[in-house]
Structure 1
Amino acid sequence: MALDAAIKSALDTVPDCLAVGYIDMNTGMLLEMQGESPASVDVLETVSIAISNLFQGHGVQAFEKLLAEAGDGAIDNAGFSEVTIFSGDHLFVFLKARDYQEHVVCFVCRGGANPGMVMAKSQMSLGKIAEAV
């Protein structure tokens, strides 16, 4: 399956999904995106610029250091692999691609979406997207 088809399938699979994007964190570029409307794609483009700080920023590093000091020990995989944000009218789910640690898939959903279903379906879609890369 091609990347654009995998992204489109994810858009159709994840409940109340408005847009899905495949983002390169090193550049902040959207490598592929699909959306229901130009407005939802605009949200995705805006978010893609700041994604690197979300996963690799100083705040994440400080949080991991606190976990290590609290007795969690050394953290094998630095950085978060999944971040979910509730923001006004939107629910954002960011999943780091397992095989491409510098890439993130972003799902933008309506704020009233069921968070559990969104997270479950987005995790299921991540595998198909990663296979398409």
Structure 2
Amino acid sequence: MATKRMTQSFSDQCMALVKALRAETPDCVASGVVDMSTGMLLSYETVDSHPPEVFDLLAGATLDLFQGRTVVMIEDVFKERRGVNNDQHYFQEILVNSDHLTHLFIRMNDRQDVVAVAVCRKSVNVGMLFAQARRAVKEFAGM
């Protein structure tokens, strides 16, 4: 499968990652991939229908979560205090709980400008969510 992924376009890899997240993450109702350099949702899959504005807002919110002005300032302070001298972002995963859903955002290791998103029912086992989502993302590490 690794050879097949190397020959796939980036767009095909994003769609495959979204499908893997939806299939392998427990209680998953939606998944997506956000390009942080453009703030665009590259691919998504959901069990519900939503207005297009919701998906635009998801991409923008993801960008704010990981690269908002205050978040970048916090990352810079942490890196300075810990003597880290690279361009890698400090925050790699963010978990957000709403009234009915749990949202997990995972930054790709090899492409820090790409974030995978899994949205699950609130009843999800968070440990299993992290384990399965990390496994799915790791398979696409070379995106």
Same fold (TM over 0.5): yes
Aligned partner letter, 1:55 = F
Instruction: Give 2:83's aligned residue.
Output: 73
3-state SS of the aligned residue for 1:20? strand
Shift in alpha-carbon separation, 1:7–1:106, aligned structure 2, 3 A: same
After TM superposition, give the deviation of residue 46 of structure 1 in Å. 2.6
2:109 to 98, 101, 104: 98
Take 1:119 and 1:32, find their aligned partners in 2: how far apart are those partners?
Answer: 20
**Aligned residues of 2:96 and 2:102 also touching (Cα < 8 A):** yes
Corresponding letter in the other structure for 2:95: T
Among 44, 47, 52, the residue aligned to 2:63: 52
TM-score w.r.t. the length of structure 2 is: 0.76
Range that drifts further, 78-87 or 34-43? 34-43
Pair 1:28-2:39 in alignment: yes
When normalised by structure 1's length, the TM-score is 0.81
User: Distance in 1 between the 2:35 and 2:102 partners?
Assistant: 20
- Structure 2 CA distance for aligned equivalents of residues 80 and 125 of structure 1: 19
Tell me: CA distance 1:33–1:110, structure 2 relative to 1, closer, same or farther (3 Å). Answer: same
**Which secondary structure state, in structure 2, belongs to the residue aligned with residue 38 of structure 1?**
coil
Alignment match of 2:49 (pick from 30, 33, 38): 38
1:88 partner SS:
coil
Report the CA distance shift for 1:40/1:46 in structure 2 as closer, same or farther (over 3 A): same
- Identity fraction in percent: 30
**Could you tell me how far 1:66 is from its partner in structure 2?**
4.8
- Kindly indicate whether residue 135 of structure 2 is the aligned counterpart of residue 118 of structure 1: no
Amino acid at match of 1:63: I
Measured against aligned partners, the alpha-carbon deviations of 1:59-100 in whole angstroms (never above 9, x if no partner) come to 22333355357x533364333111111121111110111111
Q: Which runs of 5+ in 1 are unaligned?
A: none
The change in CA–CA distance for 1:120 and 1:22 in structure 2 (over 3 A counts) is: same
Relative to 1, partners in 2 of residues 1:12 and 1:41: Cα closer, same or farther, differing over 3 Å? farther
User: Which runs of no fewer than 5 residues in structure 2 stay unpaired?
Assistant: 6-11
Task: Supply the distance in 2 between the matched residues of 1:41 and 1:17 (Cα, whole angstroms).
Answer: 20
**Count, aligned residues:** 131
Q: Aligned partners of 1:25 and 1:59: how far apart in 2?
A: 16
Q: Partner letter of residue 73 of structure 1?
A: G
TM superposition shift of 1:39: 3.9
